[in-house]
Amino acid sequence: MSAAAVVTHAGIIAAGEGSRLAASHPGLVKPLVPVSGVPLCHWVARGLREAGATQITVLLNTRGRAVRESLSRAFPETRWDFLEADTASSWESFRLVSGALSKKTEGFVITTVDSLIPPSQTAFFAARAVECRAEAALALTGFVDDEKPLWADVAADGFVTALGPKARLKNRVTSGLYYMSAALAARMPEARAFDSLRGYWTSLVEGGVRVAGVNLSKTVDVDRPEDIREAEGFLKQESASW
């Protein structure tokens, strides 16, 4: 299966509050915060599209309706499916998007709206997840600039053996890009089962689910005002990829 076929369906989680960016960008919801003059959500959508996604499901909160209009205008050729919910946790958001996508395709990728990942790396990630017959996959990076990184240990066969406190190597962290099979998504527990997305993924690994760990090059998360400068330098360096 080609990388383009793998990422035909993708999702973006954009329902967070973005409280740390609110002071520096008053009146703007996080997905619309500009990075090099372009809304953050446009960079993420462009990355998914360049990697082959033609149908993208986006979860927004009730204050994010301007994001819907912005993406629809910027990418009119994309088939958009907008969900709206004020979710209680990252896990609940992921669960909603996964549930919607699992009804459309056998496998899909989901990214958070604050993760900047070059399109070629997104395509590589999706292709690798399918190639190794994983039920799920986590994108990993050696670039660590997170206040609370989720560390991951990966065995020689490419599958994750430990996440979080149980990880021992401390050389790879998750980077906000995920692959899920529809079959696994259909078995997701209730929203109240976890209070965070990392809790869900940790439970998968500890429960014996085959979760592939795919090493990518540098990726950047935009959570704080100071992250924007890092992101702009990263985008300039990776300009040929976008």
> What are the pLDDT digits (tens) for 217-227?
999 999 999 99
Q: pLDDT tens-digit profile of 126-170?
A: 999 989 889 999 999 998 877 789 999 999 999 999 999 999 998
| H or E, element range at 211 | strand 211-216
What domains sit in the chain, N to C, each tagged with a CATH number?
3-241 (3.90.550.10)
Tell me the pLDDT band of 6, cut-offs 50, 70 and 90. low
Q: Is the pLDDT reported for residue 216 higher than 80? A: yes
pTM (whole model) above 0.85? yes
Distances (CA, A) of 14 to 39, 68, 76, 89: 12, 11, 19, 12
Query: What is the structure's pLDDT at 3?
Result: 43
Tokens of 1: 């299966």
Tokens of 114: 């604050």
List strand residue ranges (DSSP E) for 6-48, in order: 9-14, 34-35, 38-39
Residue 80: partners with Cβ closer than 8 Å, 6 or more residues away: 56, 57, 58, 68, 71, 72
**Cβ distance 142 to 171 under 8 Å?**
yes
